[in-house]
Amino acid sequence: MSQYVLVVKEDCETCRLLASLTKRLIDELDITIYSQDNPEFPAGVPVIDDTELEYSFNHRLETVPTLLKFENESGLTELERTEGWDRNEWQRLTGLNFLEDLPAFRPGCGSKTLDPGMLDQLAVKFGSADLEARRLAIEDGEDEIEACYDRGWSDGLPLVPPTELRVVKMLQGTRRAPSEIIGNVPPDYAPCSVLKVAVNAVMAGCKPEYMPVVLAAVEAALLDEFCMHGLLATTYFSGPMVVVNGPISRAIGMNSKGNALGQGNRANATIGRALQLVIRNVGGGKPQGVDRAALGNPGKYTFCFAEDETNSCWDSYSVEKGFDSQDSAVTLFAADGVQGIVDQKSRTPESLCRSFAAGLRVASHPKMVMAADAFLVITPEHERVFRDAEWSKTRVKAELESLLQIDGAELVMGAGGIAEGLPDKFADKVVPKFRAGGLNIVRAGGGAGMFSAIIAGWGASGSMGSVPVTVKVGH
């Protein structure tokens, strides 16, 4: 035998229109009536109070009136439902012949669960069983911002307090279960769930739609070849740099153009910060702890930007790495700060490459070779020089690698009056500045200004330590 549920609210013209039917429904059907706003409506029949909206939320109501039909034998499995008033549909669902003096059709009204902000509140109240996280009470009069500082969560800047409502909203940005463990975060190698990432994304100031990118960045950081533990423990300057490729970078409004490496864009700023907060708060990677950087760099607050793929004459970095142009991807690089390259006069690719090579030669140290990787960020005006000459990115790299073959006599200890350098056995050799595959190129920046940038990496790059890693962004 079937059972039925009717959900109504008094503040709905169609529900009031159907009130005359409810006594007959009670008499002829096994039916329960819920009211969203007045437990005495409809009058004269038993009504269950759903003003807290628990039933309506759990059954995902979008419209009132809604008539639901259940199969009783298997624990009230919903068979089907109809929304609003449609005489033919109601007769089909119930088997009753409605001859009342009612119109054939009337649309319903929005369920109160869809009132502004209500779904998030209801998700916290009735749908957060999967939020298995330690809850901390804030004392009356305690400032929430200061409470985050006092508990050691902050990177030095104010945090957004991670209330349950904010975390629930953040989790709506991904289809992944809050309890899913995505890996163990160094240096403590603490298990990191999607929920913990969401908490730190809230504190960083992210929007829910950034969550897939943040999750991908965390997953990339946990790959062995990225060597996050070593990156923390080194006394070098470096920290994770995040480069985003693909449609998602544009969908969430990331900046790949003017000031792409600077401030002012919420997605750029908060995605990189969220990754750093996960390392700090989940993994325990804090300065003067396992994070032993002698100086660090400002990018350890956040270092995240999108590659400018629009109107580029080159394949994007992620396409170079084997992904489809419609894939969204995140690349992590163990990066230092930004070293500018100014060349406003070169109009040939050969001349511009010589400027780039001269700058790359001194990355980390003029005598440091085959150690630190580097990213060369080429702006559109510099890229135009290569576009006009029809130089591919592969050709640019080949030219730079040729220019960066260095006479070992310039690199050995004592050469140039500098004690730093290679052993004397390299004096009669020619040595490349970068290991094979250690020089990477991306396109970003404003359309005006013949400036590009070198971002050198951790001295323990390549087989010695960290390599750039690229992962696909999921949902």
CATH code of the domain containing 91: 3.40.30.10
Decide if 132 is inside a domain.
Answer: yes
Q: Is residue 186 part of a domain?
A: yes
| Measured distance CA(9)–CA(302) in Å, rounded | 49
* Residue 43 and residue 139 in one domain: no
Written as tens digits, the pLDDT of the chain (475 aa) is 789 999 999 999 999 999 999 999 999 999 999 999 999 999 999 999 999 999 999 999 999 999 999 987 555 789 999 999 999 999 999 999 886 678 999 999 999 999 988 888 888 788 755 666 666 777 777 899 999 999 999 999 999 999 988 999 999 999 999 999 999 999 999 999 999 999 999 999 999 999 999 999 999 999 999 999 999 999 999 999 999 999 999 999 999 999 999 999 999 999 999 999 999 999 999 999 999 999 999 999 999 999 999 889 999 999 999 999 999 999 999 999 999 999 999 999 999 999 999 999 999 999 999 989 999 999 999 999 999 999 999 999 999 999 999 999 999 999 999 999 999 999 999 999 999 999 999 999 999 999 999 999 998 776 667 999 999 999 8
Which residue among 89, 118, 147 closes a domain? Answer: 118
Considering only CA atoms, which of 166, 260, 244 is closest in space to residue 207? 166
Place of tokens 């779904």: 119
pLDDT the model gives residue 131? 66
Q: In whole angstroms, what is the distance from residue 266 CA to residue 253 CA?
A: 8
Residue 318 belongs to some domain of the structure = no
338-351 in b/e form (b: 16+ CB < 10 A) is bbebebeebeebee
Whether 400 and 436 map to the same domain: the answer is yes
- The 8-class DSSP code of residue 137 comes to P
Q: Which of 95, 118, 141 is at the close of a domain? A: 118
Strands annotated E in 317-438:
329-335, 339-342, 374-378, 405-407, 430-432
Q: How far apart are CA 394 and CA 441, in angstroms?
A: 10
Pair of tokens at residue 85 = 């008033």
Both 245 and 139 in one domain: the answer is: yes
| 191: Cβ contacts below 8 Å, ≥ 6 apart | 181, 183, 184
Considering the domain architecture, whether residues 349 and 370 belong to the same structural domain is answered as yes
Q: Is residue 184 part of a domain?
A: yes
The pLDDT, as a whole number, for residue 121 is 84
Distance CA 177, CA 227 (A): 27
In whole angstroms, give the CA distance from residue 122 to residue 151: 28
DSSP string, 348-383: SHHHHHHHHHHHHHTSS-TT--SS--EEEEE-HHHH
Evaluate whether residue 213 is within a structural domain. Answer: yes
Do residues 294 and 381 share a domain? no
DSSP state letter for 61: -
Classify residue 473: in a domain, yes or no.
no
Counting every residue, how long is the chain? 475
CA geometry: angle 302, 307, 268, nearest 5 deg: 30
Question: Do 378 and 429 lie in a common domain?
Answer: yes
Rounded CA gap, 115 and 164, in Å? Answer: 19
Domain assignment present for 399: yes
Say how far apart CA 7 and CA 221 lie, in whole Å: 48
Predicted local distance difference test score (pLDDT) of residue 425: 96
Same domain, 174 and 281: yes
Query: Do residue 147 and residue 178 come from a single domain?
Result: yes
Could you tell me if residue 365 is inside a domain? yes
Residues facing 68 on adjacent strands? 5, 81
Residue span of the structural domain in which 192 resides: 128-306
Counted domains in the chain: 3
> What pLDDT is recorded for position 475?
81
pLDDT for position 279: 97
Q: In what order do the strands lie in the sheet with 48-49?
A: 48-49, 31-35, 2-8, 66-71, 77-83
Calpha distance 451→380 (Å, rounded)? 9
Contact 239, 303 (CB under 8 A): yes
Identify whether residues 276 and 172 lie together within a single domain.
Answer: yes
For residues 139 and 99, membership in a common domain is answered with: no
Longest dimension (CA), the chain: 104
Nearest to residue 216, comparing CAs of 272, 264, 164, 261? 272
237 and 145 belong to one structural domain? yes
Q: What residues are paired with 432 via a beta bridge?
A: 405
Q: Pairing between strand 77-83 and 66-71?
A: antiparallel
Return d(Cα 33, Cα 8) in angstroms, integer: 8
Let me know whether 147 and 291 are in one domain: yes
CA-to-CA distance for 342 and 453, rounded, in angstroms?
9
